[in-house]
Amino acid sequence: MNSAKKRMLSGMQPTGMPHLGNLEGAIANWVRYQNEYESFLFIADWHSLTTLYGDTGQIKQNIREVALDVLAAGLDPGKCAFFVQSDVKEHAELHLLLSMITPISWLERVPTFKEKQENVLGGEQASYGLMGYPVLMSADILIYKADVVPVGRDQLPHLELCREIGRRFNNHYGGVFPECEGLMTSIPAMPGLDGRKLSKSYGNAIYIADDEDTTWQKVRSMFTDPVKMRKDDPGHPEGCAVCAMLGIYQPDSDEELQRECRAGHMGCMQCKKKLAELLNERLKPIREKRAELLDNMDYVSGVLAEGAEKAGAAAEETMKEVRSAMNMKKRTVR
């Protein structure tokens, strides 16, 4: 870990098999930024409990899938700390301390709270933990004194809340926490196979671990323009999931594709074949690396253990300052 670099913090919930949206929206950025920033990258298993607390049977397996896909996609564990959130207990300690100083009204106004309330599994009630999600996220960021956090536009309110919590702490107990900035990343709007929002719960995703044939079968079944029955029917590429995905994987040809579609010079099967080809090209090296890693799960566990050690050391440094600033007892046992 190179301390001359700015620090970046980012997490990903283990809510299922990682899909193309996770790959292009998060994992690709982790890999891209690993040389530029001193990166702390974690699998956010505690965060996943905020909506999946009623069904924890898959968490261990999901952690494994995320770890495999992230490493297969090219993350170099020698250049970062890649770990599981619950392996670094300091996150929980800081979360608790920050929850003592965070006004409830700040959490009630977080726009994603309502949306997440609806995602709680099996009609269970939204919990205290779900409401405190932004406080846990603030603890994740502040414990590493992160300079930057990659965010999409919808996460900006969380980041602002993190800054407010950090400021409030600093005002009460003295300046411990710096202010982090959002690193606005290009997060492509990956559509679901059926044209709806991409969601694991809709079962409308292509997973990183899917093989070539599964990818083709999924692409074949994708939603296109329902009124375009034949190749020479003029099509409506807007709202076509295949067109939206081709725009991500072949952006230079997007305009031409839309023109050809509208003019009735392009058939949906032609588009689907092109898309499957592009996806399989993108996923081939990841699948190969994934298969190698699957044969060496001790290595994957070792990476996460080493990552937790690196992250734990940095987190404990901050917690010493926090405990001292708050006049809390020094830690005497692990």
- Torsion, CA 143, CA 145, CA 148, CA 150, rounded to 10: 0
* Strand ranges, E, within the chain: 7-12, 38-43, 80-84, 148-151, 181-184
Task: State which residue, 63 or 279, has the beta carbon closest to ligand SF4.
Answer: 279
In angstroms, what is the minimal distance from the CB of 159 to ligand SF4? 36
200 is catalytic: yes
Footprint of ligand SF4 on residues 198-227 (CB under 6 A)? Answer: 224-225
Return the range that interacts with ligand SF4 (CB under 6 A); candidates 200-208, 232-240, 292-300, 315-323. 232-240
> Residue 74's closest CA among 298, 283, 310, 246?
283
Q: How far is CA 245 from CA 96, 241, 265, in A?
A: 42, 6, 19
The residue from 44, 80, 243, 300 that contacts ligand SF4 (CB under 6 A) is 243
197 is catalytic: yes
In angstroms, what is the minimal distance from the CB of 145 to ligand SF4? 47
The residue from 9, 72, 271, 319 that contacts ligand SF4 (CB under 6 A) is 271
151 counts as binding ligand SF4 under rule CB under 6 A: no
> Residue 262's closest CA among 243, 238, 234?
234
237 counts as binding ligand SF4 under rule CB under 6 A: yes
Strand partners, 8: 39, 148
The residue from 88, 206, 242, 311 that contacts ligand SF4 (CB under 6 A) is 242
135 counts as binding ligand SF4 under rule CB under 6 A: no
192 counts as binding ligand SF4 under rule CB under 6 A: no
Q: How far is CA 285 from CA 110, 192, 291, 326, in A?
A: 40, 23, 10, 50
DSSP 198-257: --GGGT---BTT--HHHHHHHHHT----TT--STTS----TT-HHHHHHHHH-GGGHHHH
247 counts as binding ligand SF4 under rule CB under 6 A: no
Q: How many residues does the chain have?
A: 334
Angle at 191 between CA 187 and CA 197, to 5 degrees: 100
In angstroms, what is the minimal distance from the CB of 254 to ligand SF4? 10
Token pair in block for residue 135: 């406080």
Task: State which residue, 31 or 257, has the beta carbon closest to ligand SF4.
Answer: 257
Q: Which residues contact 226 (CB under 8 A, 6 or more apart)?
A: none
274 counts as binding ligand SF4 under rule CB under 6 A: no
Task: State which residue, 192 or 237, has the beta carbon closest to ligand SF4.
Answer: 237
Task: State which residue, 91 or 274, has the beta carbon closest to ligand SF4.
Answer: 274
List phi, psi (to 5°) of 8.
-120, 140
Residue 248: how many CA atoms within 13 Å on its side-chain side? 19
Going across the sheet that includes 181-184, the strands are 80-84, 38-43, 7-12, 148-151, 181-184
The residue from 11, 77, 192, 235 that contacts ligand SF4 (CB under 6 A) is 235
Task: State which residue, 67 or 257, has the beta carbon closest to ligand SF4.
Answer: 257
12 counts as binding ligand SF4 under rule CB under 6 A: no
240 counts as binding ligand SF4 under rule CB under 6 A: yes
In angstroms, what is the minimal distance from the CB of 272 to ligand SF4? 6
116 is catalytic: yes
In angstroms, what is the minimal distance from the CB of 185 to ligand SF4? 27
The catalytic residue among 79, 89, 200, 289 is 200
Return the range that interacts with ligand SF4 (CB under 6 A); candidates 70-78, 106-114, 265-273, 326-334. 265-273
Q: Which residue has the tokens 């599964």?
A: 214
- What is the set of active-site residues? 116, 197, 200
Q: Please give the residue ranges that form the binding site for ligand SF4 (CB under 6 A).
A: 224-225, 228, 235, 237, 240, 242-243, 257, 261, 266-268, 271
